Structure 1
Amino acid sequence: MAIGNNLKKGTKAAIPEKQEVQDATVDSSLVPKTETKLDQRDTQSLNQLNHDLEATQQVEENSRMLVVFPVGKEEYAFEIGQIKEVVPVPPISPVPQTKKYIQGVANVRGNVLAVIDLAKKFGLKKGQAADEINYVIVINSEDVKVAVVSSQVPETLMIKESQINSTADVMRKSNNEQHFINGVIKKDNRMIILIDILEMIKSDQD
């Protein structure tokens, strides 16, 4: 099931009836049993992050504001403009006959969203992905209704254009499936992969 076929604005998602979803065989480790309990530090971090997303930001010339989060043992980032909000993970209902990296669907503020696990999308080996899904990053799009899982509260990071490694161009040209990679950022001892999540979703619809 292509994401775009059922989650475009104004189109009802092809979600099985409630009884069918309940009868589906699912790995129970993938579905949160209870709502995530946040400690005070996580709550403050989450509130600050969502404040940054809502605020009108004066980004320096030749700079980008990113939202960074872990995927397995690596760090990935989205442009801040592609993110609507980050919330504690809601209950996720599995949907049969979808792609393996789609965890299921979740209701976030009245919107039914497809929930994506990038660790599965990128084919990380078992044991590399985070043990728990604690948050979902809601993507800012009128065309598709999608959220991405994260084990931690993402952080915002301002980077200079010069910090984006140009070898990413080579990666995109040499591997058509990775054309949504916008660059690799090296900062201190960190290496962060910048991806265009909307481009990734679009490529899955083609």
Structure 2
Amino acid sequence: MYRELITFEVAGQIFALDIMAIREIRAWTPVTPMPRVPSYVAGVVNLRGTVLPVIDLAARLGWTPTEATPRHAIIVCQVNGQSQGLIVDSVSDIVALDTDNLQPPPTAGQEDVAPFLEGLSAIEERMVMVLDLQALSASEDRAIAA
């Protein structure tokens, strides 16, 4: 079975999300910071009259926070009935992935070293990490509601 994914770059790495979870891709819009939220929550933006929480994906993955510029993009996703934005460096392409080629994320004994990954796959000679939006958003629900 094949799945369609959108690929994008964060901190020099290629990631992908299932196209069915993506509502739109927006050009960079400055965010309004919010008090008392985790460091990976960049803030909120106005999306046609709706307040949209925006997550700095690099910071959420444990990397250096993004210093956003007009070249960055915000991918608007739907997770558990709630929209949220993800700051990415750039959006690349739509690809079809054979699910048989999706390998599980690595583990170290009982510890999951990549808790936000659904799996990995080589696409066009590059390793692509497919994100698990449910896992990525698991602890965000309380933070965004603050």
Structure-1-length-normalised TM-score: 0.60
User: Structure 1 or 2: larger helix share?
Assistant: 1
Stretches of structure 2 that go unaligned for 5 or more consecutive residues are none
Unmatched runs of 5 consecutive residues or more in structure 1? 1-61
2:111 equivalent to 1:174? yes
Same amino acid, percent of matched pairs: 24
Name the aligned partner's letter for residue 147 of structure 1: G
* Kept in 1: contact 2:9–2:91 (CA 8 A): no
- Counterpart of 2:100? 162
Does the Cα contact within 8 Å between 2:41 and 2:54 map onto a contact in 1? yes
The corresponding residue for 2:5 is 66
Give 4+ residue runs of structure 1 displaced > 4 Å after superposition.
none
Does structure 1 retain, via aligned residues, the 8 Å contact 2:44–2:54?
Answer: yes
Query: Which structure dedicates a bigger proportion of its chain to strand?
Result: 2
How far apart are the structure 2 equivalents of 1:190 and 1:137? 21
Cα distance between partner residues in 2 of 1:138 and 1:97: 23
CA distance, structure 1, for counterparts of residue 24 and residue 68 of structure 2: 22
Q: Any residues of structure 2 matched to 1:177-196 within 5 Å, and which?
A: 178-196=114-132
Report which stretch shifted further, 156-165 or 141-150. Answer: 141-150
User: Residues 99-153 of structure 1, C-alpha deviation per residue, up to 9 Å, x if partnerless?
Assistant: 1111110011222111111111112247xx5763521100124632310012223
Over the aligned positions, Cα root-mean-square deviation in angstroms equals 2.5
- Does the 8 A contact of 2:10 with 2:88 survive in 1? yes
Aligned runs of 1:5-20 on 2, under 5 Å? none
TM-score, scaled relative to structure 2: 0.82
Write out per-residue CA displacement over residues 134-190 of structure 1, whole angstroms, 9 at most, x where no aligned residue: 211001246323100122234211111122123x2647x622x74331100112320
